Every structure is written in structure tokens, then in C-alpha cells.
Chains A and B, each alone.
Chain A
Amino acid sequence: MTTRVTTDQGVRFRNLESRRGLGWAVYRFIREWPLIPLAILVLFLVFAIFADVISGYDSTGNDPDPDRTASQLHDRLAPPMWYPEGSSAHLLGADALGRDIMTRIMHGTRISLMFVGIVLSAGAVAGTSLGLISGWYGGVVDEVIQRAIELLIALPFILVALVVVIVWSQSLQLIIILLVIFSWGGFARQVRAETLQLRNMDYVSLARVAGASTPRLLSRHVFPGVINTVMVLISLNVGGLIITESILSYLGVGIPPPTPAWGVMVNDGKNYLTDAPWISLFPALAITLTVMAFNFLGDWLRDRFDPRLRQLI
């Protein structure tokens, strides 16, 4: 044995380690780093970016080529390839209009990720700025912003969305604006709490004494202190936002058809569950897998960069 450790304890320790071997090392690595969720997300990201390259089918079913349209009608309710009558032309089968499920899921990934990206970046920017202002100035401004957040949290969002869609008819822009309005509150609340703490820190007071202006104090001295939290909150919010978007699309008030949103696809297939379950089940699986991966990643980021948030969420 090459070990130089002479104590009983040390030797026992080394033996334990070596007995565990390579399998244990791989297991530890997987536990420590979120590899599986990352792999799932990378896969979906590839789908989103290269959807047109991977699949030649049209995702909306409005193919200008008449030959394609004819073959599309022939493929109505085609089963996935592992069914006896399935073929590799439609890996995951086709829906009631003959549109390829796999293609629509890939395009749906693109829609969902873009949607979440837009809503979250707008919500995070608005929430962070308002949270900074609210915590820094206090007083009436703070009171107004806090009450606004409480109101937004108290309203049943999905019902409000339904009413708003009756009033201004369904569109992508409307749903984005609505979700931004409803998503900034969480950021503002957390950023405000941290700003209150940072505001009284010695280094901030010193910067102020040195003559820094309020915008400079906020952007250079307070903001860097909250950016970690904001990043973690963003990652924790992705999953919930994908679910909310899919719920709205499922109810028919989210992303308007024929755009292949996941929620719309699940709804399309719900009357075919007996004969063609793949129409609903695969998009449902896609939503669940993506959200699960994001949730995993969010938890991991939180534990790693901002464990204090653990008590809150």
C-alpha cells in the first residue's frame, strides 16, 4: 500500500474512499452539479434554436405548398413511430390536422422560452428598480409600491387575465404585458428588503459622504449587493412562468393559435385521449420536463449563491 497515513483513523478513512471507487465519484459529481437538468435544458435549447433545421415540416399547418398540404391531410392522427402502424415520418405522431407533433413541440419550445425570456427580463428590471427606489426613499413612495404589490398578489391572476382578454381580445403582446405586470412584485419585495439593509451599511454612508449622487449610490453601491438575489429569483421564477403561460394557452386566452404553444397543443388533443393520446401527452411531458429542469437548476443556484432565500421560498 502506498498510503503514508499512519494513524488507524487515517487508514480506515482512505480504505473507505478507495472502496467506493469510480462509481461513487460519478455519483458524487452528479449530485453536486445539476448535470441532468442541464442536459435536458440544452436539448430543449437545441430544439428551440434549430427547429427549422431539424424538421422540414411546417409547425402551423398553413404550408403554402399544395402537395405538402395534401400529404398532411393523409397523415391525420398518425401514431408515433414505435406503434405497429407508425412510421419514422412522424417520430411522435401527428395531430388531428396532420401536423407533426415533434415539430410543433420544438417550435413550442422556442415560443415558450422566448416568452419567458421577455417577461422575466422586463419583470426583473422593473421589479429591481422599483424595489431599489422603494427601499431607498421609503415614505409615501414605499407605501404606494408596497400596497400595489399586495394588490397584485391578492388578485386571482388567471381570472383577471380572462377578463382582460374579453376586453382587449387575445394577443401575444397583451399576455406579455399582463404577465410582466404580475411578475415584478416578487422582485421588488425582495430587493426592497435587501436595499433597506444595504442603505445603512458603512460603505454606502462613506460613499455618500464622499459626494456620490443618489443615482450613483444606487447603481454602483447598492445594486451590486442585490444582483445575486435577483439572479436567483429569476431562475426560481422560470418554472412558474412557463406553467402560467401554458395554463393561459390551454384555456385559450394565451398565445393565439395556430402558433404551437404547448398549452394549446395539450388542449387540441384532449378529445382524442382514447384514440390518439400522443397529441396531448407529449406536449404535457415537454412542459413538465422543462419546468422540472428549471426548478432543479433554480434550487441549485439558490443553495449555492443565496442560501438565505431558502427561508422565503
Chain B
Amino acid sequence: MRRFFLRRVITSLLMVLLTTVFVFALSRAAGDPRYLYLNEYTTTEVWEQWGEAMGLNRPYYIQYLSWLGDALRFDFGDSQAQKRPALELILNRAPATIRLSAAAFVFALLVGVPLGVLSAVKRSSMGDYLGRGFALLGQSAPPFALGIALIYIFAVGLGWLPTGRQDHGIRSYILPAVTLGWYPAAGLLRLIRSSLLEVLDSEYVKMARAKGVRNFAIVWKHALRNALIAPLTYSSLLLAGFVTGALLVETVFSWPGLGQLGFQAVGHNDFALMVAVVVLTGAIFITANLVADLLYAYLDPRIRLS
């Protein structure tokens, strides 16, 4: 277990490092960063001064190491469009994204788990078809299409819910959270359905049935615990998926979060900000993957052996 643990942690660290190399290489491929500050008053001397100050006359690997050193201290430079440190902007926007993701996660759990159990226990029932239809729609409609359809039905057509933005309190969370949570809920549902079906077929469940345990206890106490291993791992990946999912949902609902920040950075060619967003979200992504793997190995010892 210890060896496995160490190996996974080290490879994850290497991955984060590789991500930074990749992003740095991209940032240099984008061209000389001095062009971003260039204006009609820039003389050759000023240009050279900038090169000196930014360390552009040094070899690439030194430039990378100094950039990495700054990044490790969470200094990603200033956003060119907003003239403020990139990290400050990110920290300002992060809470909105975290709240939205949390709401979407709750939605995914509240819908995915019961529907998954229902469609496994009562196969070919109305509940099963409802669950499978829900999953099918979630995995076939891109988030923005879902968001726009939901806005059209519940905000424009029926007028029940606001179209987003946080100033409407809890009600403004409903549509964005459902849009963001639908795909993960669908994945969770399918996973729980298939793994629960497998577990319900196993010997120990038959034993419990023979013993006369009530169906409710068999499903929710005996079977579901073992069936939850794969979905639990998946839910860690879900958290990682919210990072990119939020980007899309936030642009649809004009939600002032990280995703919108990253998207605006693209619009303004704001490189420092974009790099910061990608490095940080990449790190979150890789960490979530690591947690998923370790959790899986911890919960199911069979994984470690193979």
C-alpha cells in the first residue's frame, strides 16, 4: 500500500511539473511577451530594459526555472488587461465557482444515487426508464444546449426562475446547478446502476435473502455499500470535471466565476491570467485524479494487487 501510495503521489507531482513545462512552452511560443506592453512611445532602450527586467536575455531553462519559482510562491505575474495580480483576480472569482460546483454536486448526488438504485432494483419499471432517459439526455446534450433549453423553458417560458447571476439568492442557483450537475448525475446513475446490478447478483446477497432480510435492508445496507466503491471514485473525478464544466455553464448563465474569468482572459489575449488559470485548474484536476486512485485502492484492495 505504501509503495503504491508513494508511486502515485510522485507521478502526480511529475504530471503537475510537466503541465507547467507545457504551459511555459506555450507561453513562449506565443511570442515575445514584450509585445504585449509595446506602444508608440517605446524606444529601443526601453525595449532592452524590459528584456533585462523580464530576464528574456537568459537561456530558456533559466527563464522557466525562475517562472516556476514564482509560480510555486503563487506569483503568476499581473493580468495585462486588468493591471492586477493574476492570483488576486482568481481568488476573487473562486468562491462563486466553488459555490456553484457544490450546488451541482449536491444535485448530482440527490438525483444520481436514488435514480441509480431505483433503476437497478426495479429493472424495466417506469423508474428505470425515467432514470435511463435522464442519463441518456445528460450524456447526449452538451451543457450549453441544456442550459439554453432550461433557460427557455423555466425562465423565458414559465418565468419561474431567474436566468442566473447571483443576486436572486438561492433561486438563482437552481438552473446553473442543474445544468452543471446533469452530466455527472447521469454518469453516477449509470455507474451505480451497473455496479448495484452486479452486487445484487452476488452470493452474499442471495445469502441475506435466504436468511430473510427485508428487501430495503438488503439494497440500502448490504448491497449499496459494496456497489458504491466505483461511484465514490467517480465522484472525485466529478469534482475535477466541474472545473471545465463550470467554464461553459458560467458563460451561459453569466455567472461571475473562474470559468468566466478564464474565458474573458481569452477574449483580451490576457496571457498571464490564462496561464495562471490553466496551471491552477490543472493542479486541481491532477490532485482529484490522485485522490480518486488512492481512494479506490484504499476501499478495494483488489486494485492494488493487479
Contacts and interface: CB of A to CB of B under 8 A. Distances in A.
Is chain B a partner of chain A in the same complex?
yes
Given A154-B289, A165-B266, A288 B141 contact: yes
Contacts of A295: 136, 139-140
B234 to A, nearest CB: 12
A51 B43 CA distance: 56
B156 A155 contact: no
A287 B141 CA distance: 7
Contacts of A285: 145
Contact of B266 (A246, A253, A263): A253
Interface in A132-172: 147, 150-151, 153-160, 162-168
A273 interface: yes
Interface string B11-32: 1001100110011001001100
Interface in B155-194: 156, 194
Given A151-B18, A154-B286, A270-B252, A162 B263 contact: yes
B137 interface: yes
A154 B19 contact: yes
A163 B141 contact: no
A162 B274 contact: yes
Contacts of A153: 289
| Chain A: number of interface residues, binned into ranges | 35 or more
A70 B136 CA distance: 43
Contacts of B144: 246-247, 250, 263, 266-267, 284
Q: Chain A binding site: helix, strand, loop or mixed by DSSP?
A: helix
A151 B285 CA distance: 11
Given A163-B275, A166-B269, A158 B140 contact: no
A250 B148 CA distance: 12
Interface in A285-313: 285, 287-289, 291-292, 295, 310
A30 interface: no
A292 B263 contact: no
B152 A159 contact: no
A274 interface: yes
A250 B278 CA distance: 20
A156 B237 CA distance: 12
Most central of B137, B140, B271 by chain A CB within 10 Å: B140
A159 B244 contact: yes
B26 A150 contact: no
Interface residues of B, number: 45
Most central of A164, A247, A253, A281 by chain B CB within 10 Å: A247
Contacts of A274: 156
A156 B142 contact: no
Contacts of B282: 154-156, 159
A43 B23 CA distance: 43
B104 interface: no
Contacts of A168: 29
A237 to B, nearest CB: 13
A295 B281 CA distance: 29
Contacts of A263: 142, 144
Contact of A155 (B19, B139, B151): B19
Q: Chain B binding site: helix, strand, loop or mixed by DSSP?
A: helix
A198 to B, nearest CB: 19
Nearest to B143: A247
A251 interface: yes
A165 to B, nearest CB: 7
A121 B281 CA distance: 30
A292 B278 contact: no
Given A162-B266, A166-B274, A167-B30, A273 B156 contact: yes
Interface in B1-53: 11, 14-15, 18-19, 22-23, 26, 29-30
B226 interface: no
Contacts of A280: 148, 152
Contacts of A287: 141-142, 145
Contacts of B278: 156, 159-160, 163
A243 interface: yes
B236 interface: no
A310 B195 CA distance: 11
Interface in B260-297: 262-263, 266, 269, 271, 274-275, 277-278, 281-282, 285-286, 289
Given A243-B142, A266-B144, A157 B244 contact: yes
Contacts of A159: 243-244, 247, 262, 277-278, 281-282
B148 A273 contact: yes
A80 interface: no
B63 interface: no
16 contacts: A150-B15, A151-B19, A153-B289, A156-B285, A159-B282, A160-B278, A247-B144, A250-B144, A251-B247, A273-B156, A284-B142, A288-B145, A292-B136, A292-B137, A292-B140, A310-B194
Given A159-B282, A292-B140, 7 more contacts: A154-B15, A159-B281, A162-B266, A273-B148, A289-B140, A295-B139, A295-B140
